[in-house]
């Protein structure tokens, strides 16, 4: 008997068709059996290309499909919480793309729907499933670089397409929601704490009204995290992790390639050019496959999913505080709303 969890996909999103669905289909515990699209022909084309057996012409139809156990939600950001709640209420478990909600209040609604329905929901931060980040945290915990003092992250690409969901403010567009969320979740993951206060600054694109450059400082009781992200800069991503006796540099922190090994450099600072750094190699793996399988396995075995929605709520409070600080020009403490 095929014991894999049966997945349905809401919308033929680029991320779903190009990366997540093919990766989940290579998993041991996940089977993508249905896809829904507002445009049935587009849905059928995507399903044919991905070998998905069933196509639905509406999201409602997919949620009513009795042979779907769990739903992957890659809709635009403003539709994450509304359709994830509808999926939970239809008896489906949900893996929803990041950022899971546009405000802490939205994420709290999702958390209540989880408790009301008894179904599980998780924010799809695939990086948290990648062995390189498990390896970095293990080394920080083991004191390999001394007490952690700072995390610095960059993430950027160039996209000026007015039709792209990232450049539409009503859809929850902008860099902070789209890619700023990554250095924030990684800093929280490594400090294993929430920041006590944050400062943020945004540069808005006058055409779109979305942030095209965003920077933030997160003050943790044990140290600082700083990040800059941009939707209109050279494609780049890197994370530096600084301790009192060493540092760790993560070469491709967020879009780790599925087809080649990843490198992390552990350096004691004895040579400023990093010539003495130890190169730690993580064998090639697909973080989307891992994410899907860890979620599916947890459901199949009746365990909590790897990333509780409480983590997404804490994450959304940090993002909300960065937006508030950019508005007020002051440091902002985290707030529940
Ligand atoms: N984790 C990651 O690595 C990663 C990477 C990229 C994106 N993402 C996340 O994935 C989500 C989708 O990003 P994407 O670049 O894949 O977007 P996209 O290609 O624009 O896909 C969005 C899909 O949502 C559906 N949709 C429903 N209402 C819509 C509306 N009003 N406007 C536009 N589309 C609508 C459409 O599907 P149908 O027309 O077929 O119904 C569309 O294909 C975002 O939340 C983003 O943050 C995550």
For 158-208, what is each residue's pLDDT tens digit?
Answer: 999 999 999 999 999 999 999 999 999 999 999 999 999 999 999 999 999
- Note the pLDDT of residue 335: 86
Pocket test for ligand 1, best of 8, 12, 15, 41 (most atoms within 8 A of CB): 15
> Once rounded to an integer, what is the mean pLDDT over residues 132-154?
98
Burial of 179 (0-12, 13-18, 19+ CB in 10 A): buried
**Measured from the CA of 124, which atom of ligand 1 is nearest?**
1
Question: Ligand 1 in contact with 15 (CB < 6 A)?
Answer: yes
Domain residue extents for the chain:
5-126+289-306, 131-284+317-333
- Note the pLDDT of residue 1: 72
- pLDDT at residue 44 above 80? yes
Would strands 262-267 and 278-282 be described as parallel, antiparallel, or unpaired?
A: antiparallel
- Note the pLDDT of residue 239: 98
pTM recorded for the entire structure:
0.98
> Once rounded to an integer, what is the mean pLDDT over residues 208-218?
98
Å from CA of 83 to ligand 1 middle: 13
Å from CA of 74 to ligand 1 middle: 5
Å from CA of 240 to ligand 1 middle: 30
Å from CA of 165 to ligand 1 middle: 7
- Note the pLDDT of residue 40: 96
* Residues 128, 132, 134: CA angle, nearest 5 degrees: 55
Question: Ligand 1 in contact with 97 (CB < 6 A)?
Answer: yes
Q: Would you give the distance in Å from CA 160 to the centre of its chain?
A: 22
Question: Ligand 1 in contact with 178 (CB < 6 A)?
Answer: yes
Task: Report the phi/psi class of residue 284: left, alpha or beta, with left for phi > 0 and alpha for psi in -120 to 50.
Answer: beta
What is the set of active-site residues? 98
- Note the pLDDT of residue 2: 82
Quick check: 110 and 308 in contact, CB under 8 A? no
**Residue-by-residue DSSP string for 44-58:** HHHHHHHT-SEEESS
Question: Ligand 1 in contact with 35 (CB < 6 A)?
Answer: no
Query: How far is Cα 37 from Cα 12, in angstroms, rounded to an integer?
Result: 6
> Once rounded to an integer, what is the mean pLDDT over residues 82-108?
98
CB atoms within 10 A of CB 279: 11
Q: 130 phi and psi, to 5 degrees?
A: -80, 130
The reply to whether CATH 3.40.50.720 applies to domain 5-126+289-306 is yes
pLDDT digits (tens, 9 = 90+) for 323-335: 999 999 999 999 8
- pLDDT at residue 9 above 80? yes
Query: How far is Cα 103 from Cα 165, in angstroms, rounded to an integer?
Result: 18
Nearest protein Cα to ligand 1, atom 11: 74
- pLDDT at residue 337 above 80? no
Largest CA distance in the chain: 61
First-to-last C-alpha distance (Å) of the chain: 46
Sign of CA dihedral 189, 191, 245, 155: positive
The reply to whether CATH 3.30.750.210 applies to domain 131-284+317-333 is no
């Amino acid at each position: 008997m095929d014991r894999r969890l049966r997945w349905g996909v809401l919308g033929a999103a680029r991320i779903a068709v190009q990366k997540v669905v093919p990766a989940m289909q290579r998993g041991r515990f996940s089977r993508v059996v249905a896809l829904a699209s507002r445009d049935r022909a587009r849905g059928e084309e995507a399903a044919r290309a991905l070998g998905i057996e069933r196509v639905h012409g509406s999201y409602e139809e997919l949620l009513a499909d009795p042979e779907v156990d769990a739903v992957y939600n890659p809709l635009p950001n403003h539709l994450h919480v509304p359709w994830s709640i509808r999926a939970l209420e239809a008896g489906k478990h949900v893996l929803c793309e990041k950022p899971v909600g546009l405000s802490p209040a939205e994420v709290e609604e999702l958390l209540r729907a989880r408790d009301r329905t008894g179904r599980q929901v998780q924010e799809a931060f695939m990086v948290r499933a990648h062995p390189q980040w498990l390896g970095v945290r293990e080394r920080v915990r083991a004191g390999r670089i001394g007490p952690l003092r700072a995390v610095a992250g960059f993430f950027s690409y160039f996209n000026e397409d007015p039709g792209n969901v990232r450049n539409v403010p009503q859809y929850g567009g902008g860099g902070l929601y789209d890619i700023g969320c990554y250095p924030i979740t990684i800093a929280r993951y490594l400090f294993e704490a929430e920041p006590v206060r944050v400062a943020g600054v945004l540069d808005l694109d006058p055409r779109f009204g979305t942030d095209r450059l965003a920077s933030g400082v997160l003050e943790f009781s044990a140290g600082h995290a700083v990040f800059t992200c941009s939707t209109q800069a050279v494609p780049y991503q890197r994370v530096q992790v600084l301790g009192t006796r060493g540092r760790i540099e993560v070469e491709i922190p967020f879009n780790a390639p599925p087809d080649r090994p990843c490198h992390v450099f552990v350096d004691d600072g004895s040579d400023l050019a990093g010539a003495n750094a130890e190169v730690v190699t993580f064998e090639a793996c697909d973080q989307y496959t891992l994410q899907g399988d860890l979620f599916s396995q947890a459901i199949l075995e009746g365990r909590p999913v790897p990333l509780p929605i409480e983590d997404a709520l804490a994450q959304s409070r940090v993002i909300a505080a960065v937006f508030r600080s950019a508005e007020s020009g002051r440091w902002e403490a985290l707030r529940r709303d």
